[in-house]
Structure 1
Amino acid sequence: MRRAGGLADVAGRRFDMLVVGAGFAGAVMAERFAADAGLNVLLIDRRPHVGGNAYDEYDAAGILVHRYGPHIFHTNSAEVFGYLSRFTGWRPYEHRVLADLGDRQVPIPINRTTLNLIYDAGLEDEAAAEAFLAARAEPVDPISTSEDVVVARVGRDLYERLFRGYTRKQWGHDPSELDRQVTARVPVRTDTDDRYFTDSYQAMPADGFTAMFGRMLSHDRITVLTGADFAQVRAAVDYDRLVYTGPIDEYFGHLHGALPYRSLRFHHETLDIDRLQAAAVVNYPDEAVPHTRITEYKWLTGQAAPRTSISYEYPSADGEPYYPVPRAENQARYKLYEGMADACPDVIFVGRLATYRYYNMDQVVAQALATYRRAMPR
């Protein structure tokens, strides 16, 4: 990787590829076009660093913190895990999350332990837990919203306790106004498995995400320019093809109106205690609590330190775009932009923001690898 000191370092130069955005999508595309296709790549990002939202760094207490909230790697794809393993070793890690109900904390996703803690139900096996849930479930037909998904599976009481308030804070909409995919992503279990994910591969990059990105981009044919404005760069350099990973509506000047994205604000603290929480992440479903969750990073890194670093997470309608908002009218507007993108054969749109889809990290990597294979020069 060649670091450009500023726009003047690349102005007037010619590149085979200009890649906009140095998160997972952009970094994978840059690495493949350089290392596999042998092309000269300029990778830019408007932030002052690579890694996108997965960026991590050591804070003043020496703890590796995720500046944009917790990023937990998990996948069922051997291809994705194998590809990323070229650039990092791994620390085995299985993620666990608790929901704070005021008087107690319970495992999320819902499992048999959750039910026993909330209801003192004394459920001893999966059949008993399934019967317990079935007795509370409310038939919904058709199931079209996020509220429908939860109420039809676990009933209205658990929906109100664990899902409704959290979802309203996270998305700025009631679950009854959101596509079913939002809550359909969260399983309901009748056993006592309290892991948040059950994927075949669950681990954290041994040296952190930023170090992994550094190795991914350490190729002589890749030049990286951070703190860069796309409009200024595209006017200053020559390039054959463009890879764009930013918001698709922004690329087209919001011609069909702005696509709604949900943003996040983080408040980081270091505390003079060894541990704060009983798990890496504690969710706060109560709407009266302004933050959605608290993350304690030592759980993720496995570090031993006398102090602990945490972050509070506050969803917002304004700020850096993080999540496309899954509503039918938003998808219809995206389709207008998708039609415009299809008419741009020399521009490759890839990633969460450019394709207006909520992807996990491994899904972004898989999408980028597949997109590269389709776009690879013959």
Structure 2
Amino acid sequence: MSYPSDILIVGAGFSGAVVAHELSVNLENPPKITVIDQRNHIGGNCHTERDSKTDVMIHRYGPHIFHTDNEGTWNYVNSFVKFRPFVNRVKAKYQNQIYSLPVNLHTINQLFGQSLNPEEAKRFIDLQADRTIDEPSNFEEQALKFLGEKLYKAFFFGYTKKQWGCDPKELPASILKRLPIRFNYDDNYYSDPYQGIPEEGYTEIVRKMLDHPNVNVQLGVKFHPENSNQKYDHVFYSGPIDEYFGYRFGKLGYRTVYFEREDGEGDFQGNAVINYCDESVPWTRIHEHKHFMPWEKNDKTIWFKEFSKETEDSDIPYYPKRLISDMEKFQKYQEVLEKQSGVTFLGRLATYRYMDMHHVIQEAREVASKFIYDFAR
């Protein structure tokens, strides 16, 4: 079977860029690939750019720290741009006090005014936990079962309510998949062995992925499936699945974020990310972007207050809500999707699930590999 000679990739984020790169470098006669994106830049939500006013490298759509436990994925991204080690040490502000996240031994001792060792802390938290809850039916019950009321109210209730725009009782228990607590003083937000930030920014990685004579990138171009699918031998689609099908079963729920920028001299908060857990504070967190690249020295600084809200037509969707009503709609879209030919759905929006960067990259590599294999048989 001959390979398609004309391919369209919708989305110039990591999903689209990885597929474009893999098809370009792993085929003896690579196809003509057109990559379109409705935004005016490549990189998707991972887009980074040098701020002209402060010279700080900013993450335009919020902080992105690359982390993975997959050595192959780590080596893959480093083959494009060198990554510098970076440990995300998130802090939380609650009732005018600063705590370490994830919840760890220091957080526990500080919040409860104790000086417990690890074994004492385990017994202490076990006493705090609500053991009357057998099978948690929602996020709040899941948190109360494992953490107890005080830790839940301090670090999860207000923040979650602001982040998701609803009472935590309305959210599925699965959001809190594991016990979000450590009984040591480890304040590394992630547990993966490979963690870092590219010294030239994430957009440079995507640019290098797309740098091939057979790849044509077109920005500011809106995808219309009724027109585009007929012009290409195959389409790789990383946009919203409900939009692809014209919202025939209704719109899927997403939360989006927006930012308020502030500039200054020196150091504003002394850390890359601080969460604001009090429900009375309207923003969810503040990120100061000079701290994401500590190897650079900047006299000026820039920080962003981050707010969460429901996604409207003009907004960029960030986090799939995946409530019961959403999943019922998504199931209908999946059933229609399975009947499609000549199109591959991939990425966070097209599969309606939250994915970190390493998940997106791994999935895209697998999709490209399978595509090549299928046509080689």
User: TM-score if structure 2 supplies the norm length?
Assistant: 0.93
Which residue number in structure 1 is paired with residue 11 of structure 2?
21
Cα deviation, residue 232, structure 1: 8.9
Q: 1:282 to 1:116 in 2, by over 3 A?
A: same
Which residue number in structure 2 is paired with residue 155 of structure 1?
148
Residue 212 of structure 1 is aligned with which of 198, 205, 218?
205
Q: How does 1:129-278 map to 2 (within 5 A)?
A: 129-139=121-131, 140-184=133-177, 187-231=180-224, 234-235=227-228, 238-272=231-265, 274-278=266-270
- Output the amino acid matched with 1:190: F
Which residue number in structure 1 is paired with residue 334 of structure 2?
338
Between 1:210-219 and 1:182-191, the stretch displaced more is 182-191
Cα deviation, residue 183, structure 1: 2.6
Q: 1:244 to 1:358 in 2, by over 3 A?
A: same
- SS of 2:232's partner is strand
Which residue number in structure 1 is paired with residue 297 of structure 2?
304
- Aligned partners of 1:180, 1:279: CA distance in 2, in Å? 31
Is residue 328 of structure 1 aligned with residue 324 of structure 2?
A: yes
Cα deviation, residue 331, structure 1: 1.4
Q: 1:237 to 1:85 in 2, by over 3 A?
A: farther
Q: Which runs of 5+ in 2 are unaligned?
A: none
- SS of 1:275's partner is coil
Task: Answer yes or no: is the 8 Å Cα contact 2:122–2:183 preserved in 1.
Answer: yes
Deviations 1:180-224 (A, max 9, x none): 232326721010001101101001011110111111111111110
Which residue number in structure 2 is paired with residue 7 of structure 1?
none
Task: Answer yes or no: is the 8 Å Cα contact 2:237–2:346 preserved in 1.
Answer: yes
- Aligned partners of 1:373, 1:232: CA distance in 2, in Å? 24
Task: Answer yes or no: is the 8 Å Cα contact 1:15–1:237 preserved in 2.
Answer: no
- Aligned partners of 1:36, 1:234: CA distance in 2, in Å? 29
Cα deviation, residue 326, structure 1: 2.6
Q: Which runs of 5+ in 1 are unaligned?
A: 1-13
Which residue number in structure 1 is paired with residue 343 of structure 2?
347
- Aligned partners of 1:148, 1:83: CA distance in 2, in Å? 40
Cα deviation, residue 367, structure 1: 1.4
Residue 35 of structure 1 is aligned with which of 25, 32, 44?
25
- Output the amino acid matched with 1:67: R
- Aligned partners of 2:71, 2:231: CA distance in 1, in Å? 37
Task: Answer yes or no: is the 8 Å Cα contact 1:150–1:159 preserved in 2.
Answer: yes
Which residue number in structure 2 is paired with residue 53 of structure 1?
45
- Output the amino acid matched with 1:170: Q
- Aligned partners of 1:74, 1:365: CA distance in 2, in Å? 12
Question: What's the RMSD between the two structures over aligned residues?
Answer: 1.7
- Aligned partners of 2:122, 2:270: CA distance in 1, in Å? 27
Between 1:135-144 and 1:207-216, the stretch displaced more is 135-144
Equivalent pairs, count: 363
Deviations 1:281-324 (A, max 9, x none): 00011111111000011111112111111111111103211111
- SS of 2:92's partner is strand
- Output the amino acid matched with 1:135: L
- SS of 2:91's partner is strand
- SS of 1:353's partner is helix
Task: Answer yes or no: is the 8 Å Cα contact 2:253–2:322 preserved in 1.
Answer: no
Task: Answer yes or no: is the 8 Å Cα contact 1:263–1:320 preserved in 2.
Answer: yes
| Percentage of identical aligned residues | 36
- Output the amino acid matched with 1:29: V
- Aligned partners of 1:247, 1:235: CA distance in 2, in Å? 16
Which residue number in structure 2 is paired with residue 119 of structure 1?
112
Which residue number in structure 2 is paired with residue 367 of structure 1?
363
Cα deviation, residue 237, structure 1: 8.3
Task: Answer yes or no: is the 8 Å Cα contact 1:15–1:238 preserved in 2.
Answer: no
- Output the amino acid matched with 1:126: P
Task: Answer yes or no: is the 8 Å Cα contact 2:225–2:244 preserved in 1.
Answer: no
Deviations 1:241-276 (A, max 9, x none): 00000000000000101111111111222212x112
- Aligned partners of 1:311, 1:163: CA distance in 2, in Å? 21
User: TM-score if structure 1 supplies the norm length?
Assistant: 0.92
Deviations 1:149-178 (A, max 9, x none): 211111011111110111111111222111
- Aligned partners of 1:79, 1:368: CA distance in 2, in Å? 14
